[in-house]
Amino acid sequence: MKKTHVALLTVLLFCFSKTVLAQSTGTLQGEVTDNATGEALPGVNVTVSGTVLGAATDADGRFSIERVPTGTHNILITMIGYKRAEVTARIEAEQVAAIKIALEETILETPEVMVTANKRRQSIQDTPNSVGVMTSREIEQKNQVYIDQFLQQASGVNFVGNQVNIRGSSGFSYGAGSRVLFLIDGVPVMPGDSGDIKWDMIPAAQIERVEIIKGAGSALYGSSALGGVINIITKKAVARPVTNLRLSTGAYDEPAHPEWKWSDELRHFNDIDIDHTRKIGQKSEILAAVGRHQSMGYRENTEQLRHNVSFKWNYKPTGTHNLTLSTNWEGGDRQTGLMWRSQRQALQVAPEALGDYVHSNKFGINLFHNWVLRKNLGLQTRVSYFYNYWKNWFHDNISASEAQKPGVEIQGDWQISANNSLIFGAEGSWDKVISDLVGTHDQYVVGAYVQNERALITNVNLTLGMRYDYAWVDIGFIDSEFNPKIGLIWHAHSKFRVRASSGRGFRAPSMSERFADSIYSGLRIIPNPELKSETSWSQEIGINFTPSSLFYIDIAGFMNDYWDLIEPEPNENQVVQFINITRARITGVETTVKMMPFTNLSFDLGYTWMDPQDMDLDVTLAYRPRHLFTGGVTYSLGAFECGADMRYISRFDAVKVYPFDDRVDQKLINLRAVYRIGSSSVTLSVNNVFNHNHTQMERTLMPIRHFVLTLSSRF
Amino acid sequence: MYVKRLCFALSALLLFSSCTVDTGLEPTHSGLAGTIYFQHEWPEETDQVMVVAATIFPPTSLEEIIMSEPLATFVDSTHYTLWTNPNSYAAVGVVWKEKEQPWDVTNIIGIYFPTDDHFSPGRVTIPDRNTVVDSIDIVADLSLARRRVDSAIEGQLTVNGDWPEGAQSVLMIASKTILPTSLLDITFGAPIECGFDTTSYRLSVQPGTYRLIGALVTEKDKPIGFDSIKGIYKKKPTDFLPGSVIVATDTSRVANINLILDFAAATLP
């Protein structure tokens, strides 16, 4: 019976494909150049509006899109660093239409960026919720190695230890679980045991763009997208043979106070990243990258040596099929100086913790298949596997954990009409964990989603979406969650838009929160198999004003409600257990301004005010600031560019473990200077230039003043 | 022109706004210091010994205590400095930690007693950020170190009368003497939240004969003393003396040691 169904489906699909092929179509070809220099631009995205058809330019700036339906089409041309262009092209049956486009460079990138926040490429101006973007140029400017280092400069984002907060979502839970979903190229890469984010999985040198989706995103992304989503878009493999080399070295300065000096050695760090991309045969491109990252650390017992290898293969057998295989491995040893010995010896750890370290390996492999079934219907299939292993050698605990996460996702993208699109899909994953910390457990999650974006009336777009998830844990715990969302955008004027959105989010507890049974830093942690999922509702209303390509302002008011937050709590026996405790609400206002008042001077400002309240206890939520400010200024003069980045995070009103410790505002200023020679550059940065001392996680001093020299070259 | 000036002023503000502000955290220059005198043999299972100061005594959560660096072990005496910010500490003590076991802040082997009253821990106040309060000397009795055992006394606690307004928690206590002469003669259990009518308890104890099993109620802003004991175990309600309990081995569990918390009685039951 099953075989009959499969055969029938195959025949139908074959006929459907034949029907598509039989439609009257033509080919669109073209060339994209830089309007100032006339040079060909490789890697430019060209899409046919109202369809799922598109291509990227090759090494010579040329592209070709086959099987474009006859008629007149709007062609959208986008590339980071350039203003978006839109042209009209007339396609005749079985003819080749040729266009030439010259793109104008811009430093103010945000209004031009295309994002995939809604699981399909669209302008950031068309998303109903707040989306922050860090482009490769901004990442390069920050001169940092890992994602968590430069994300600290993103508007509305702050870190507590290695846990990321988007608009105060996460707080701090000692590395167990995350209320922000972390994706690499749209694939979740959070291990099943700890459920936290592995920031070292991809070095900054391999990143093309980071998208920060603010507010609950579970209606599309499922569990963990309670407080937002961070999606890392990695570099693409392109046809032109290109090699990128990044060499970086640096050292930490003396501590601000002589009492804190603990080492006579120069505490230095060195990083090497190299990648190469080229065409292989007529239909495929590859990208291979390796990296080595070593640091002596500025604190005692924080030395580390990490390596990473990435490989990407892109194969395009026909104009309607595209296959991408990507793999990442990262591994090495890292010492773990968790907390200071005392505020008197803030850069040293307790003597018994000397030598504590963790060895870890992470590996991910993803296979994507994009199939353009017809001009307005695309189907993407993703098969993924993520492996995470670690073993720690702590003075009071030696343990290991292995987590595997195979997953599959099928997604359809149906452009019903020019102003009506539908995203639908289903995904499933299996977490298998064998761990000294949590035992041996399996968790299965399946989910299905659908989202419709349509023009309600002229200039008003409505987004409706929903997702259903069903999770089963091997101890018999079952959880099912339904997460709807609604969004509205009113393009009141070509330069002004108003948006509003509301959505539900949820996060299933990680295995470590549910099953952890261990001794950590002298504290006993016991399991809580009855732990429930935490849920949220996010509401947002925002306005966006872009009077010119030189000024951009975005203001958003938000209110995020949380239920059953999972927090570690010491019980009356001084034993720590993760329990559902708090009904919380975080309200706030976020403002982002980008402006370039002169050709050579640009500003980038972000301010977020928040009121994080525990509604049960009527107190401020722990580990959340009330004020976040990020500011950046860049001045460029020919081949020379210099700038400064500032971050201010107000003192946490409340912390959980050591409330009597001193706490201060976080104030940081980084200076940078870049000199470009052809396709090479030399960057010098002084980070934390005023050597401000503060903590994020209690008893862990954040990096003191350090100097970084980076040489980047493309050849 | 004005726009240009404004932009450069904004740049300058961004760059130098923190020049005039503080540089954040500074090393602690205040704390308390003294000498710990160890008595009796060091147990082989010793992992660490620390000085602990508690803002409330007995502490009810980890938030109320601060701990020193680990002290030197297998020595007769050692000097210590516990660097901490200005605060008033209700008690300062020495806590023993067994190898491969978590910290247990009730595993106290010494308390700072400035007078001969060994039921009243000495309050230590650090007045400002530049003062180290010295001579907080403590005698630590290593024979009081409690190894992890499975032996315990278990039973039910039943309340008679209304809970006092300031009641914070209930601590089960056990002593090998009917009239303990020091807080250190008493084994304390973990705090039990107030407000119950009946609840079960489990008090982890070392093997031995316990001649006093009681329930002590801590009250807000009130030091603990004999009048804090609101329930004593008796074999028969009419008995005058407390009932004895023998915990024979490391794994003995003595059950049905039931007590009545008598808030109706004016003083000791």
Checking if the pLDDT of A21 tops 60, the result is no
Query: CB-CB: which of A257, A350, A631 is closest to B69?
Result: A350
Q: What is the domain count for chain B?
A: 2
Q: Are residues B162 and B135 in the same domain?
A: no
> Residues of chain B whose pLDDT is less than 70?
1-21, 60-62, 265-269
Residue whose structure tokens are 């005749």: A92
Separation CA B196–CA A455 (nearest Å):
60
Structural domain boundaries enclosing B124: 31-144
Per-residue pLDDT for A444 more than 90? yes
Query: Are residues B70 and B163 both part of a single domain?
Result: no
Tell me the shortest Cα–Cα distance from B8 to chain A, in angstroms: 9
Residue of B nearest to A605 (CA): B14
Q: Closest CB to B7: pick one of A344, A601, A693.
A: A601
Dist CA A646 CA A131 (whole Å):
21
My answer on whether B139 and B165 are in the same domain is no
Indicate whether B120 and B179 sit together in one domain.
Answer: no
Is B60 in the A-facing interface, judged by CB distances under 8 Å? Answer: yes
Cβ-Cβ pairs closer than 8 A, A with B, add up to 121
Model confidence at A16: pLDDT above 60? no
At A604, list the tokens. Answer: 């980038």
Asked whether residue B13 is domain-assigned, the answer is no
B211 belongs to a structural domain? yes
Contact status of A630 with chain B (Cβ, < 8 Å): no
- Looking at the fold, whether B67 and B136 belong to one and the same domain comes out as yes
Residue to test with chain A: of B3, B6, B7, B29, most A Cβ within 10 A: B7
Is the domain of B133 the same as that of B206? no
Contact B254, B244 (CB under 8 A): no
Number of Cβ within a 10 Å radius of residue A440: 11
CA pair distance A119, A188, nearest whole angstrom: 13
Q: Are residues B163 and B140 in the same domain?
A: no
Segment A199-211 mean pLDDT: 89
Residue B120 in any domain: the answer is yes
Q: If you average pLDDT over residues A130-134, what whole number do you get?
A: 89
- Choose one of B120, B144, B168: the last residue of a domain: B144
Q: Provide the CA B75 distance to its chain's centre, in angstroms.
A: 24
Closest to B182 measured CA to CA, from B127, B152, B225: B225
pLDDT of residue B21: 58
Residues of chain B numbered 18-37 and touching chain A (CB < 8 Å) = 18-19, 21-29, 31
In a mutagenesis test of the B interface, which of A260, A344, A646, A649 is the best target, namely the one with the most B β-carbons within 10 Å? A344
Contacts of B17 in chain A (CB under 8 A): 646
Does residue B22 sit within a domain?
Answer: no
* Residue at which a domain ends, from B109, B144, B179: B144
The more confident residue out of A323 and B8 is A323
Would you state the pLDDT for residue B157? 94
Please check the confidence at residue A659 and state whether its pLDDT lies above 70: yes
pLDDT at position A385 = 96
Give the angle A325-A328-A333 at the CA atoms, nearest 5°.
Answer: 170
Examine the domain organization and report whether B96 and B163 are in the same domain.
no
Contact A217, A181 (CB under 8 A): yes
Report yes or no: B83 at the A interface, CB cutoff 8 Å: yes
Question: In terms of domains, do B108 and B157 share one?
Answer: no
Q: Find which of A299, A574, A669 to mutate to test the B interface (most B CBs within 10 Å of its CB).
A: A574
For the ranges A10-14, A309-313, A414-418, B205-209, the lowest mean pLDDT is seen at A10-14
Within-domain flag for B217 = yes
* Phi and psi, residue A370, nearest 5°: -105, 125
Question: What's the ipTM?
Answer: 0.80
Query: Above 90 in pLDDT, residue A203?
Result: no
Chain B contacts in chain A segment 433-472 (CB below 8 A): none
A244 CB-near residues (< 8 Å, 6+ apart): A205, A273, A274, A275, A276, A712, A713, A714
pLDDT of B14 reads 59
Distance CA A114, CA A297 (A): 37
Q: In what helix (H) or strand (E) does residue A218 lie, and over which residues does it extend?
A: helix A218-221
Do the strands A420-435 and A397-417 form a parallel or antiparallel pair, or are they unpaired? antiparallel
Q: Residue A59: what pLDDT?
A: 67
CA separation for the pair A346, B47 (Å, rounded) = 24
Q: Is residue B96 part of a domain?
A: yes
Angstroms from B179 CA to nearest CA on chain A: 27
pLDDT of residue A171: 83
Q: What is the 3-state secondary structure (H, E, C) of A513-565?
A: HHHCCEEECCEEEECCCCCCCEEEEEEEEEEEEEEECCEEEEEEEEEEEEEEE
- Residues in A closer than 8 angstroms to B11, CB to CB, are 601, 603, 633, 635, 644
End position of a domain, from candidates B144, B170, B201:
B144
Per the DSSP assignment, residues forming a β-bridge with A569 are A577
What is the helix, strand, coil percentage profile of chain B, to 5? 10, 40, 50
Same domain, residue pair B185 and B125: no
User: Residues A424-434, buried b or exposed e (16+ Cβ, 10 A)?
Assistant: bbbbebebbbe
Asked whether the beta carbons of residue B83 and residue A644 sit closer than 8 angstroms, the reply is no
What is the pLDDT at residue A11?
43
pLDDT single digits (tens) A363-399: 999 999 999 888 889 999 999 999 999 999 987 778 9
pTM: 0.81
Q: Touching check for A659 and chain B: CB below 8 Å? A: yes
- In a domain? residue B16: no
Instruction: Phi first, then psi: give them for residue A674, nearest 5 degrees.
Output: -125, 140
CB A77 within 8 A of CB A85: yes
Distances (CA, A) of B221 to A256, A606, A686: 41, 46, 51
* pLDDT over threshold 70, residue A574: no
Per the model's pLDDT, the better-predicted residue between A81 and A696 turns out to be A696
**Which chain B residues are closer than 8 Å to A660 by Cβ?**
55, 63, 66, 84-85, 87
Query: Is B178 inside any structural domain?
Result: yes
Q: What is the CATH number of the domain that holds B128?
A: 2.60.40
Q: Which of residues 105-144 of B touch A (CB under 8 A)?
A: 105
User: How far off is chain B from A612, nearest CA to CA, in Å?
Assistant: 21
**Looking at the structure, do residues B190 and B215 belong to the same domain, yes or no?**
yes
**Which domains are assigned to chain A?**
18-105 (2.60.40.1120), 112-714 (2.40.170.20)
Task: Identify all chain A residues contacting B27, using CB atoms and an 8 Å cutoff.
Answer: 257, 259-260, 343-346
Q: Do A405 and A433 touch, CB atoms closer than 8 A?
A: no
> What mean pLDDT do residues A147-172 have?
90
Q: Are residues B111 and B73 in the same domain?
A: yes
How far is B42 from B55, CA to CA, in rounded Å? 29
pLDDT digits (tens, 9 = 90+) for A491-502: 998 889 999 999
